[in-house]
């Protein structure tokens, strides 16, 4: 049964290494969004360490939720619905958010909704923009790379997804090969910017005609190219060009051009298959990359189709997108019960 308007939704996101909360008001829109990022905790490990991530989630969840409530200038009693990411993600991290959301919903008699994190990303551009349906959404982050046909709120179809690594994962793993810190994407973009954007090493692009992605081959191709250029030792697993900034910049630049080409190729195929779409959105952590965003904007102009791209805070993991999806699910009466878990 649908709820009466207005609805105040608390969104909670703990699927990986961010602890986030947000309040969405069905008439006023997003009224607060808070986040704690664990980047410093994982920086020296080349990726997220699940055990550290879940312990940090437990420490931060309560202050982050209360900060969101305070910033929204409401009280706990004003909240009608608790929407929480319940999949996909690191089990330990997800469980912290779900248990917190259930405890809150149970003790304060709120409605509970489980949100698929990927649905959050897929609609994240709608927080700030009125996007016409149907649209194509390219989601690229550290854990996922998918192409969606979005038909309406809550009504979408997966057209393609990565068969192995995600695009952000490719940035992170290649950065690790070159002894650069986690997360790799921002560092690689910074390096590439210093030599302009040029394809120095021409890494391979898959030319498969499907809408699926694959990035593990790219990582391997870069690895073997580094070995061939005496830049990496397979036996000691060390990068041998530590001081050679120019070389790192050229690898970074080549990588960006390659990934932008792959995204353009897939969007081109999708537009052939679904010529009636009215817009393209590009979301997820990799959509913080200004070069790739610009390439896709130019691509969209060339195809005479509007292009939307969320602000940085809604590209990377956040709870605003979870509260936003929670709000329309609440209006559709799609509530969970207290058996909600991470596998549904
Ligand atoms: O969406 P997100 O915060 O978390 C996941 O759901 O994974 O995305 C994080 C990913 C990381 O892999 C990071 O390297 C990548 O987004 N990323 C970037 C940039 N900023 C973050 N990739 C390319 N260029 C960037 N500027
Ligand atoms: Zn994400």
Q: Of 187, 148, 145, 197, nearest to 166 (Cα)?
A: 145
Q: Is 168 in the pocket of ligand 1 (CB under 6 A)?
A: yes
**3 pLDDT tier (thresholds 50, 70, 90):** confident
Exposed / middle / buried, residue 269 (Cβ in 10 Å: 0-12, 13-18, 19+): middle
Residue 135 predicted with pLDDT over 90: yes
* pLDDT recorded at residue 5: 81
**1 pLDDT tier (thresholds 50, 70, 90):** low
Exposed / middle / buried, residue 236 (Cβ in 10 Å: 0-12, 13-18, 19+): exposed
**Helices 184-193 and 167-177 meet at what angle, rounded to 10?**
70
Q: Of 274, 151, 261, nearest to 206 (Cα)?
A: 261
**Ligand 1 probe mutation, 176, 183, 293, most atoms within 8 A of CB:** 183
- Nearest ligand to the CA atom of 316: 1
**Ligand 1 probe mutation, 185, 262, 283, 311, most atoms within 8 A of CB:** 185
End-to-end CA distance of the chain: 21
* pLDDT recorded at residue 344: 60
Give me the percent of the chain exceeding a pLDDT of 70. Answer: 99
- Nearest ligand to the CA atom of 310: 1
The number of beta carbons lying within 10 Å of the beta carbon of residue 67 is 17
Q: Is 174 in the pocket of ligand 1 (CB under 6 A)?
A: no
**The token pair that represents 71 in the structure block:** 């910033």
Q: Whose CA is nearest to atom 8 of ligand 1?
A: 285
Three-class secondary structure of residue 140 per DSSP: strand
Cα–Cα distance measured from residue 121 to residue 142, given in angstroms and rounded to the nearest whole number: 12
Is the bond preceding 134 in cis, omega lying within 30 degrees of 0? yes
Query: Using only C-alpha atoms, what is the Rg of the chain?
Result: 21
CA 85 / ligand 1 centre spacing (Å):
18
Q: Is 288 in the pocket of ligand 1 (CB under 6 A)?
A: yes
**Closest ligand 1 atom, residue 15 Cα:** 6
**Closest ligand 1 atom, residue 175 Cα:** 14
CA 231 / ligand 2 centre spacing (Å):
32
pTM for this structure? 0.94
Cα–Cα distance measured from residue 265 to residue 262, given in angstroms and rounded to the nearest whole number: 5
Q: Whose CA is nearest to atom 10 of ligand 1?
A: 142
Phi-psi label, residue 258: left if phi above 0, alpha if psi -120 to 50, beta otherwise: alpha
Query: For residues 190 and 138, is the Cβ–Cβ distance under 8 A?
Result: no
Name which of 107-111, 140-144, 239-243, 278-282 the model is least confident about.
Answer: 239-243
Q: Is 284 in the pocket of ligand 1 (CB under 6 A)?
A: yes
Query: For residues 152 and 132, is the Cβ–Cβ distance under 8 A?
Result: no
Residue 276 predicted with pLDDT over 80: yes
CA 335 / ligand 1 centre spacing (Å):
31
Q: Is 119 in the pocket of ligand 1 (CB under 6 A)?
A: no
CA 185 / ligand 1 centre spacing (Å):
6
Q: Whose CA is nearest to atom 14 of ligand 1?
A: 185
- Nearest ligand to the CA atom of 171: 1
Residue with tokens 């602890």: 19
The number of beta carbons lying within 10 Å of the beta carbon of residue 274 is 15
Q: Of 58, 12, 7, 16, nearest to 37 (Cα)?
A: 16
**Tally of helices (H runs) and strands (E runs) in the chain:** 11, 12
Q: Which residues of 195-215 are buried (b: 16+ CB within 10 A; e: fewer)?
A: beeeebbebebbeeeebbbbb
């Amino acid at each position: 049964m649908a709820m009466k308007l207005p609805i105040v939704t608390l969104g909670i996101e703990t699927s990986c290494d961010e602890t986030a909360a947000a309040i969405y008001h069905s008439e006023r829109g997003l009224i607060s969004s808070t986040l704690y990022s664990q980047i410093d905790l994982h920086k020296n490990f080349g990726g997220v360490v699940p055990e550290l991530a879940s312990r940090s989630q437990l420490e931060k969840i309560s202050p982050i939720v209360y900060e969101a409530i305070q910033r929204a200038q409401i009280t706990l009693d004003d909240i009608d619905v608790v929407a929480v990411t319940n999949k996909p993600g690191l089990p330990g991290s997800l469980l912290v958010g779900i248990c917190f959301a259930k405890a809150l919903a149970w003790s304060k008699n709120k409605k509970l909704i489980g949100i698929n994190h990927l649905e959050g990303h897929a609609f994240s551009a709608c927080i700030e923009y009125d996007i016409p349906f149907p649209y194509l959404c390219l989601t690229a982050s550290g854990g996922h790379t998918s192409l969606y046909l979005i038909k309406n709120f809550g009504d979408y179809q997966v057209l393609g997804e990565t068969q192995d690594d995600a695009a952000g994962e490719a940035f992170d793993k290649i950065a690790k090969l070159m002894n650069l810190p986690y997360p790799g994407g921002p560092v690689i973009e910074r390096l590439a910017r210093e030599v302009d954007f040029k394809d120095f090493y021409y890494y391979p692009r898959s030319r498969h005609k499907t809408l699926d992605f694959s990035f593990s081959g790219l990582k391997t191709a870069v690895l073997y190219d580094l070995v061939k250029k005496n830049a990496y030792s397979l036996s000691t697993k060390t990068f041998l060009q530590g001081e050679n900034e120019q070389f790192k910049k050229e690898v970074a630049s080549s990588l960006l051009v390659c990934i932008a080409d792959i995204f353009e190729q897939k969007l081109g195929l999708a537009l052939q298959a679904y010529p009636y779409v009215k817009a393209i959105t590009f979301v997820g952590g990799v959509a913080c990359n200004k070069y790739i965003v610009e390439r896709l904007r130019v691509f969209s102009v060339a195809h005479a189709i509007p292009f939307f791209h969320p602000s940085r805070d809604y590209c990377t993991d956040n709870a605003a997108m979870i509260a936003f999806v929670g709000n329309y699910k609440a209006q559709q009466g799609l509530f969970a019960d207290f058996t909600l878990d991470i596998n549904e």
